[in-house]
A and B are shown apart, each in its own frame.
Chain A
Amino acid sequence: EVQVVESGGGLVQPGGSLRLSCGASGFTFKNYAMSWVRQAPGKGLEWVSTISGTGGSTVSADSVMGRFTISRDNSKNTVYLHMNIMRAEDTAIYYCAKSYSMAMFGGELDYWGQGTLVTVSS
């Protein structure tokens, strides 16, 4: 059974940093791209970042470019989202999701976690 579980959310001050983790199991982790998607309160879904299966390639939304970094450790079946210079508008539930296909940046997301809440406030 595929499982995806996020952790690391919490309250952070504007300008601060936070690292989210996402543990996965039930599939050959290194073969699939992984993504982060967020949902701000009362808003829709926003794609944040995707990392290839090997970890050698990443792509991110303009809204987080230069502030957020996605990475992965295939020995631990874990993907991370390092968030720096955080802003109030980064407040959201952050979801981690697995790509359906083995494409480098497969955008169809077939397994998601339940999300972790990040609040940016003083």
Chain B
Amino acid sequence: DIQMTQSPSSLSASVGDRVTIICRTSQTISSYLNWYQLKPGKAPKLLISTAFSLQSGVPSRFSGGGSGTDFTLTISSLQPEDFATYFCQQSYRTPYTFGQGTKLEIK
């Protein structure tokens, strides 16, 4: 199985800050890396697919990068609605595996 290492596990930041979340995979996955946002009681939301493709309706302050084994999710200027938990996921091969999650909290 492809192991996912996501960091940090939690992050405290302020509105307007720029934050970056890192995801590393145990083997190369080309660009088959996706990012999701989870909020309690709501449906998870796909933000970015194949490493850097922003989904329709997702604000442009979200961006993704990387390839191979190292990937990033960057939020350029945090907004109040961005405080949530973020997960990376590889869709290169089954079993599709997720990172441990990053909980983004208000400072």
Contact = CB atoms under 8 A, between A and B. Distances in A.
B94 A108 contact: no
B97 to A, nearest CB: 7
B49 A108 contact: yes
A45 B46 CA distance: 13
Interface of B: 32, 34, 36, 38, 41-46, 49-50, 55, 87, 89-92, 94-101
Contacts of A107: 32, 34, 89-92, 94, 96
Interface of A: 4, 35, 37, 44-47, 50, 59, 61-62, 95, 97, 100, 105-115
B95 A112 contact: no
Given A44-B99, A44-B100, A106 B45 contact: no
A112 B44 contact: yes
Given A4-B43, A113-B43, A47 B96 contact: yes
Contacts of A100: 46, 49
B91 A106 contact: yes
A21 B30 CA distance: 34
A110 B46 contact: yes
A97 B98 CA distance: 15
26 contacts: A4-B43, A37-B44, A44-B98, A44-B99, A45-B44, A45-B89, A45-B98, A47-B89, A47-B96, A47-B97, A47-B98, A61-B95, A62-B95, A100-B46, A105-B94, A106-B91, A107-B91, A107-B96, A108-B34, A110-B46, A110-B49, A111-B43, A111-B46, A112-B46, A114-B41, A114-B43
Given A47-B95, A105-B94, A108-B50, A114 B100 contact: no
A61 to B, nearest CB: 5
Contacts of A110: 46, 49, 55
A59 B93 CA distance: 11
A83 B55 CA distance: 33
A109 B98 contact: no
A61 B95 CA distance: 6
